Amino acid sequence: MAAQQNKIAYITGCSRGIGAALVDLLLDLDYQIIGIARSNVAERPNFKFIKIDLNDLEAVQQFNFSQDASEVLLINNAGIIGEISPVGQVSDQSIQQVINVNTIAPQILMNKFIKTFSKKAKKGHIINISSGAGKHPIDAWASYCASKAALDLFSQTTAEELKAREILNWHIHAIAPGVVDTQMQSDIRKANPENFKLHERFVGLKNDNELSDPKNVANQINKVIQQPSDYPETVISVRDF
């Protein structure tokens, strides 16, 4: 294992959007960062890149958290919306990809992260980027909604398990970031309006400048990173901060 650093953050989906904003912000706060995505991201001081397709569950299983620190942070941020179509029209492949990337990969990474660090890191924190879509149904997003609902309950169960085993100084959060101006929103606006009842509403949010800036969202998420004890609930939303 590499030499001990003070603070390390593993961040999936570091190539753009909320993940890229979190990388920039945490580098300024002196974290060592290991970023994961499919598109290549240039390395820079204190930022190391690892290319993994989180839809490839064998690759996820082979990944190891090999860099150690006294404070360790995992941000499961990577996520996909999948095909925007009602059940009955969506492809089997899209269902599988959404659940692999949004639910199974984060669960495997959490499992490995806790196994690797829970007995030796001074402080541990896992943040799963969830969604309001995991709390109620949204037309033509069934897999996405189900994937985030599962992530929320996995997070809650893990948080209770750590508490029951008196693994202190560890925190788990599933954070809904609000509606953010990223490629995911642009993918949503590209959906066929015939398949997606809320198409007009999402186009309107962009036209009316109602989408949040990823940098502002990263700042909100950072409040939880810096003061986790101020957020006693596991499943939270930046809208409530």
Ligand X SMILES: NC(=O)c1ccc[n+]([C@@H]2O[C@H](COP(=O)([O-])OP(=O)(O)OC[C@H]3O[C@@H](n4cnc5c(N)ncnc54)[C@H](OP(=O)(O)O)[C@@H]3O)[C@@H](O)[C@H]2O)c1
Q: How far is the CB of 41 from ligand X (least distance, A)?
A: 8
Q: 14 or 126, CB closer to ligand X?
A: 14
Tell me the sheet residues that pair with 127: 75, 173
Q: 39 or 62, CB closer to ligand X?
A: 39
Q: How far is the CB of 204 from ligand X (least distance, A)?
A: 14
Closest CA to 233 of 139, 163, 137: 163
Q: 72 or 75, CB closer to ligand X?
A: 75
Give DSSP secondary structure letters for 6-58: EEEEEEES-SSHHHHHHHHHHHHTT-EEEEEESS----BTTEEEEE--TT-HH
Sign of CA dihedral 49, 19, 131, 194: negative
Q: How far is the CB of 71 from ligand X (least distance, A)?
A: 23
Q: 25 or 68, CB closer to ligand X?
A: 25
Residues that bind ligand X (CB under 6 A): 12-19, 37-39, 53-55, 77-80, 101, 129, 131, 177, 179-180, 182-185
Q: How far is the CB of 39 from ligand X (least distance, A)?
A: 3
Q: Is 216 helix (H, G, I), strand (E, B) or coil?
A: helix
